[in-house]
A and B are shown apart, each in its own frame.
Chain A
Amino acid sequence: NAGVTQTPKFQVLKTGQSMTLQCAQDMNHNSMYWYRQDPGMGLRLIYYSASEGTTDKGEVPNGYNVSRLNKREFSLRLESAAPSQTSVYFCASSARQAGTDTQYFGPGTRLTVL
């Protein structure tokens, strides 16, 4: 099993450009998440999808959109990139164990917006 995979690994954009970050999991998990990680800020939730066909906003959703394409795939789109969106983006998926959800993370996408 590959677990959670993310593409691309690195990306440089100019302000105003758009792009889509891709995420896929092969663990048959129902829930998937997008986080961003910034120095001194910790991991913050952007959007999540509790199940196929549903998406909800997290703590920092402004400037992003998501699509839960099917059970395996969850994409994050930046419609008009801004320098404030320079960050490392992590996708995660979760399995329910003993009444709680253990999240497993992908390797990350390092995005720089100039």
Chain B
Amino acid sequence: EDQVTQSPEALRLQEGESSSLNCSYTVSGLRGLFWYRQDPGKGPEFLFTLYSAGEEKEKERLKATLTKKESFLHITAPKPEDSATYLCAVQPPNQAGTALIFGKGTTLSVSS
């Protein structure tokens, strides 16, 4: 069964304290891996798509990387406004249509 597991479930950081979030998956023949940010009471906001092992993408203080079995979302010198839940999702090759399989998310809290 295709699965996506995110860790940790929750992460508390001080402003400026860099860290990484993990997303591991058991999908073979991945078509794409997605990172989203979700603020309380809002819909997921698209951040990145990664397609193949070794690929990296950056946006402001965030950098996403991909290996054959997992992806990391690195947060460099976070600020309080980076506090949110970060969701990882994968698009397997044999999934009907274009559906995504989501992890349960990592809730990040950054305090000043």
Q: Which positions in A face B, CB cutoff 8 Å? A: 4, 31, 33, 40-45, 48, 50, 56, 58, 90, 94, 97-108
Q: Which positions in B face A, CB cutoff 8 Å? A: 31-32, 34, 36, 41-46, 49, 51, 87, 89, 91, 96-100, 102-105
Q: Is the CB of B46 within 8 A of A42?
A: no
Q: Which of A99, A101, A107 has the most CB of B within 10 A?
A: A101
Asked if A105 meets B43 with Cβ closer than 8 Å, knowing A45-B99, A48-B97, A48-B99, the reply is yes
Q: Which 5 A-B pairs have the closest CB atoms?
A: A100-B32, A105-B43, A101-B98, A43-B102, A42-B104
- Contacting residues, chain A, for B42 (C-beta < 8 A): 107-108
Main secondary structure of the interface of B (DSSP, over half): loop
**B43, B87, B91, B98: the one within 8 Å of A106 (CB):** B43
Bound-complex Cα distance A94 to B31 (A): 15
Closest Cβ–Cβ distance, residue B103 to chain A (whole Å)? 6
Main secondary structure of the interface of A (DSSP, over half): strand
**B45, B99, B103: the one within 8 Å of A105 (CB):** B45
Could you list some 17 contacts between A and B, CB below 8 A?
A: A41-B104, A43-B87, A44-B102, A45-B99, A50-B98, A56-B96, A90-B44, A97-B49, A98-B51, A99-B32, A100-B98, A102-B32, A102-B46, A105-B43, A105-B45, A108-B41, A108-B43
